[in-house]
Chain A
Amino acid sequence: MRTFRGILRLASNRYTPTRMRQDLAELWRYRELLITLVERELRIRYKNSVLGFLWSLLNPLLTVSVMWFVFKFYMSNETPNFSAYILAAYLPYMFFQQSVLDSSQSVLQSLPIVKKVYFPREILPLAAVCSSFIHFLLALGVFFVFLIVIYLLDPRISPFSINMLLLPIPLVLSFMLAAGMGLFISALNTYFEDVKYIVQVVMQLLLFICPVMYFSEQVLNASSKHGSWMYFAYHANPLAMLCTAFRKILVAPQDPVVGGVRLPWIPLDWGLLGLCAVICFLVFIGGYRFFNRVKWGFVERP
């Protein structure tokens, strides 16, 4: 903790912190730059238009098929439309991972420019998050195509549900979470270049403590044996709650069947989602303020 305060002192105390309203106004003045940067990043990512976009979908589709295969056949998960459930949670996880990893490097990569021209520095991580978000939205479009395909392959169980109309809620929350973390990590990584290695490890671990390869119903089932706090603690992790929420919203309810045991479906818990919303909002505000407090020290970094 003292080290942490040390970082703050080193970076910022010599300057009176700017007000958040001023920072936001300045960001708004430079919106054209943000758009230009997002455009540039998307252009690099989708170099050859359609093919480039499909290429970038190869990672999630391949990962999900392997997970689906392993968990369906080796761990005997017989839930109908299991692959759709995995994908519905893996896409938001991937968005978060990509945003944080990309933005962690964003300031360092642009340091030569940052040292020579003024613009609000928070634009760099925000551009990384925004382009990942657009990519996420496009991937969600493909997800609906995927739903139609699995419906046509097996029309007995419809994967569609009216809950899909709630999609904007977890979308906004996941954007705030990713932007807040992105700002925080990128500021930290600019001072301490080894932060990104820690982040990479944490990102891998996050995949296991989020309901991607399994169901939150299984977590509740385990919790009933070990105490109900476990289910709550599990969903206090905002990313885990968001993965659950995306699942409940994007795919029609099905009772998960694992190892021949049918677990009752749990509807979306609005209390937990509310807690998640508060956490996401705090992360966003905190990350933004932290970044703005330390950003003037970036150019003086040794």
Chain B
Amino acid sequence: MSDPAIQLTDVRKEFRLSHSGSLKTALLWWRKKRIERFEVLKGLTLEIPKGQCVALVGRNGAGKSTLLSLLSKIYRPTGGTIQIQGKIAPLLELGAGFHPDLSGLENILFNGVILGLTREQVKARMDSIVEFSELKHHIDAPVRTYSSGMLARLGFAIAVHVDAEILIVDEVLAVGDFAFEEKCYRRIEEFKQHGGTILFVSHQTESIMRVADRCVWLKNGQVELDGDPAVVIRQYQQDAEANDTL
């Protein structure tokens, strides 16, 4: 088999809390060490082969978003190694990466270039992106006027047009309407058929069962269970219910 698309080995991520953002406080308090550490990922090892569609589940604070941010190269890990084969298109959070004062069109250009296209390539695909997002009438309006559904549509439309080999999706598909959701799933299926790798976070059981080949359950910064979606989700839900009844 070829190299895996994503290979995580003993990845750790620690954040430091309590440090104020002004020079005055830094000068006043430099004698006192008030750094608190907070470890989100505690030695995560995970391998995702090319062409697989993996769903991430876990409670809030389990480290799902941190993991996706690490893969998108927004953070660097405190320990361990991350190896990625292929181009990544991250879709983290709604409208993130959009500049609120620029129009939809300008944001497509801006985001396409950030995701590694040249300006010519973005311009060539502009019509196709606008058509996919179904925002023809609003594309010249500033993005701050967009609804959450519109933002999700624009973000998804750009992400599937940048020739990525790995798609990273953080709970953004839940806001679109039914028709758009269908369209996204069709596109994801297409993407899978072309050998693309997908890693997504979702809290919707149906969508996981529908597209995922594999499900990874994160608990307290570590992999709790990894395997067939049906099995993992059943365990995860049982665990959640058990915690609720406490």
Contacts and interface: CB of A to CB of B under 8 A. Distances in A.
B75 A296 contact: yes
A21 interface: no
Contacts of B98: 113
Q: Is the interface of B mostly helix, strand, loop or mixed?
A: loop
A114 B96 CA distance: 9
Interface residues of B, number: 40
B96 A3 contact: no
A6 B30 contact: yes
Q: Is the interface of A mostly helix, strand, loop or mixed?
A: helix
Interface in B2-35: 14-24, 26-27, 30, 35
A119 interface: yes
A116 B119 contact: no
Contacts of B19: 10, 302
A194 B117 CA distance: 37
A147 B114 CA distance: 42
Interface in B61-105: 69, 72-76, 78, 90, 92-93, 96-99, 102
Interface string B93-131: 100111100100010011101110111000000000000
A192 B97 contact: no
Given A2-B30, A113-B99, A192 B22 contact: yes
Interface of A: 2-3, 6-7, 10, 14-15, 32-33, 35-36, 40, 112-119, 191-195, 198, 296, 299-302
24 contacts: A3-B27, A3-B30, A6-B26, A14-B14, A14-B78, A32-B117, A33-B113, A36-B110, A36-B113, A36-B119, A40-B102, A40-B106, A40-B110, A113-B97, A117-B97, A117-B111, A117-B114, A192-B23, A194-B23, A194-B24, A195-B23, A296-B75, A299-B74, A300-B16
Given A117-B111, A192-B21, 19 more contacts: A3-B30, A7-B26, A10-B19, A32-B118, A32-B119, A115-B96, A116-B72, A116-B90, A116-B96, A116-B97, A117-B97, A117-B114, A118-B73, A193-B21, A296-B75, A299-B69, A300-B75, A302-B18, A302-B19
